[in-house]
Amino acid sequence: MAKEFRLPDIGEGLTEAEIVRWLVAEGERVEADQPVVEVETDKAVVEIPSPYAGIVLQHGGAEGETLAVGSVLVVIGEPGESSVPAVPLAPAEQPAVASAAPIVGTISEVAEDLSAPPVEALETGQVKALPIVRKLAREMGVDLNQVVGSGPGGRITREDVLAAVGAAAGGPLPEPEPQPAPEPEPEPAPAPGPQPEGATQPASTEDVRRPMSRLRRTIAANMARSWAEIPHVTTFDDIDATRLLEIRSALGARYELKLPLEALVVKAVIPALETFPEFNATLDGDDLIVHGSHHIGIAVDTPDGLLVAVIRDAGSKGVLELASEVRRLGEGAKARSLSPDEVSGQTFTVSNIGALGGGHGTPIVPPGTTAILSVGRAQEKAIVIDGELAIAPVMPLSLSYDHRVIDGGLGRRFMALVRENLEEPALFLAG
Active site residues: 403
Q: Is 343 helix (H, G, I), strand (E, B) or coil?
A: helix
Query: Can you tell me the distance from the alpha carbon of 34 to that of 51, in angstroms, rounded to the nearest whole number?
Result: 8
Least Cα distance to 121 among 109, 132, 110 occurs for: 132
Contacts for 315-323: CB closer than 8 Å, 24+ residues apart? 315/270, 315/273, 315/274, 318/267, 319/251, 319/259, 319/263, 319/264, 319/267, 319/429, 320/251, 320/255, 320/263, 322/262, 322/263, 322/266, 322/267, 323/257, 323/259, 323/260, 323/263
Read out DSSP for 87-138? SPPPGGGPPPPPSSSPBTTTB------TTSPP-PPEEETTEEE-HHHHHHHH
Alpha helices in 199-351 (DSSP H): 214-229, 242-255, 261-275, 319-335
Query: Can you tell me the distance from the alpha carbon of 230 to that of 250, in angstroms, rounded to the nearest whole number?
Result: 40
Alpha helices in 276-308 (DSSP H): none
Query: Can you tell me the distance from the alpha carbon of 10 to that of 117, in angstroms, rounded to the nearest whole number?
Result: 17
H/E element, 158: helix 158-169
Query: Can you tell me the distance from the alpha carbon of 169 to that of 148, in angstroms, rounded to the nearest whole number?
Result: 17
H/E element, 283: strand 281-284
Query: Can you tell me the distance from the alpha carbon of 260 to that of 117, in angstroms, rounded to the nearest whole number?
Result: 47
Least Cα distance to 405 among 263, 282, 234 occurs for: 282
Say if CB 94 and CB 31 are below 8 A apart. no
Query: Can you tell me the distance from the alpha carbon of 301 to that of 386, in angstroms, rounded to the nearest whole number?
Result: 39
Query: Can you tell me the distance from the alpha carbon of 82 to that of 76, in angstroms, rounded to the nearest whole number?
Result: 10
